[in-house]
């Protein structure tokens, strides 16, 4: 999609971002439902400890991925709320506009590139 030079979102751009976010949300929710059904049906007895360890490793990996997806679902829901309120492209730190190309690359972002870079720099220094 081509974005205009105005920092404010047009109706077309708003609809574009809403559809992207809703599609991603739908895919994540459907994927987590599938995981729950798979895990409920996977009660297996493993006589070999190596098989059991492999199963547990895969299960733990899946759970970590689903946890990250759960966090992404919350971010998408917040982004949809901001979109509805008309604050989707406003930085939560400095309240300046977030660039449309940044929103296109990372639709759940809530910070402009300058504020995000400052946050990451602060996190690196704290480590």
Six token digits for residue 10 = 């047009």
Average per-residue pLDDT in the chain? 90
Pair of tokens at residue 15:
């609809």
* CA angle (78, 84, 86) in 5-degree steps: 100
Taking only the tens place, the pLDDT of each residue in 35-92 is 666 666 666 777 888 888 888 898 899 889 989 999 999 999 999 999 999 999 999 9
8-87: CATH architecture: Up-down Bundle (1.20)
Q: How far is CA 30 from the centre of its chain?
A: 15
Domains of the chain by residue range: 8-87, 89-127
In this predicted structure, the answer to whether residue 96 has a pLDDT above a threshold of 70 is: yes
Q: Which ranges in the chain belong to alpha helices (H)?
A: 11-40, 49-85, 100-105, 113-126
């Amino acid at each position: 999609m081509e974005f205009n030079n105005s920092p404010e979102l047009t109706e077309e751009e708003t609809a574009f971002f809403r559809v992207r976010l809703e599609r991603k949300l739908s895919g994540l929710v459907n994927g987590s439902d599938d995981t729950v059904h798979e895990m409920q049906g996977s009660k297996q007895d493993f006589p070999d400890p190596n098989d059991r360890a492999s199963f547990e490793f895969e299960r733990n990996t899946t759970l970590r991925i689903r946890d990250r997806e759960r966090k992404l679902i919350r971010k998408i829901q917040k982004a949809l709320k901001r979109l509805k309120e008309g604050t989707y492209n406003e930085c939560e730190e400095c309240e300046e506009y977030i660039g449309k190309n940044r929103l296109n690359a990372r639709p759940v972002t809530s910070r402009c590139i300058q504020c995000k870079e400052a946050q990451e720099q602060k996190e690196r220094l704290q480590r």
